[in-house]
């Protein structure tokens, strides 16, 4: 059925599958997912002119990536929107440690204290440091303009099956 839909220039009504019987599939809707700029992806906002906040991400290879961000967006969403390798397994709900980032000590004290939940998750992070934070829990503020953020070489993504050994 999928092959028929992909080859057909016209809408195709499904008559084979009981699940989709009667549904009309339009091949035009099956084009690439997005043609918009990377910065338009995810949950980040475009900074207003003159209000851009600057972040330098340092990848595990030592490459420095400078990006602009809007106030209120979190470090994980910003990094992901710029194609950086940050897993974020729980989608930013403070239930994993795969968005672990290491903050420049000069800026660490400018951030709000981590919550108890974040501290609990940070305890599971691989390579924890004195200035470690979960990227999904750190929102950009004007005080963080210019912050440097290192992305750890590894993360620890615990799953239920890991506890059965």
Query: Which residues bind to ligand FES, rule: CB under 6 A?
Result: 76, 88-90, 92, 94-96, 98-99, 121, 134, 136
Q: Which residue lies nearer to ligand FES by CB, 12 or 152?
A: 152
The closest alpha carbon to 103, from 151, 165, 63, 35, belongs to 151
What is the closest distance, in whole angstroms, from the C-beta atom of residue 151 to ligand FES in the complex?
13
**147 strand-pairing partners:** 55
What is the closest distance, in whole angstroms, from the C-beta atom of residue 62 to ligand FES in the complex?
23
Tell me the C-alpha distance between 112 and 137, whole Å: 10
What is the closest distance, in whole angstroms, from the C-beta atom of residue 72 to ligand FES in the complex?
16
What is the closest distance, in whole angstroms, from the C-beta atom of residue 121 to ligand FES in the complex?
5
Q: Which residue has the tokens 């800026």?
A: 107
Q: Which helix or strand (DSSP H or E) is residue 13 part of?
A: strand 12-13
Q: Which residue lies nearer to ligand FES by CB, 74 or 107?
A: 74
Q: Which residue lies nearer to ligand FES by CB, 80 or 144?
A: 80
The closest alpha carbon to 98, from 67, 66, 76, belongs to 76
């Amino acid at each position: 059925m999928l092959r028929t839909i992909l080859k057909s220039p016209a809408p195709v009504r499904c008559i084979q599958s009981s699940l989709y019987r009667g549904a009309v599939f339009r091949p035009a809707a099956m084009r690439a997912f997005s043609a918009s700029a990377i910065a338009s992806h995810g949950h980040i906002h475009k900074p207003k002119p003159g209000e851009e906040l600057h972040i330098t991400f340092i990848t595990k290879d030592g490459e420095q990536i400078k990006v602009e961000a809007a106030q209120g967006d979190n470090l994980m969403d910003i990094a992901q929107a710029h194609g950086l390798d940050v897993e974020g397994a729980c989608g930013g709900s403070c239930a994993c440690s795969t968005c672990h980032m290491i903050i420049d000590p000069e800026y660490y004290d400018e951030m709000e204290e981590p919550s108890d939940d974040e501290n609990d998750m940070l305890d599971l992070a691989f390579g924890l440091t004195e200035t470690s934070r979960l990227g999904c829990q750190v929102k950009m503020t004007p005080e963080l303009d210019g912050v440097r953020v290192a992305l750890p070489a590894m993360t620890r993504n615990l799953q239920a099956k890991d506890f059965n050994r």
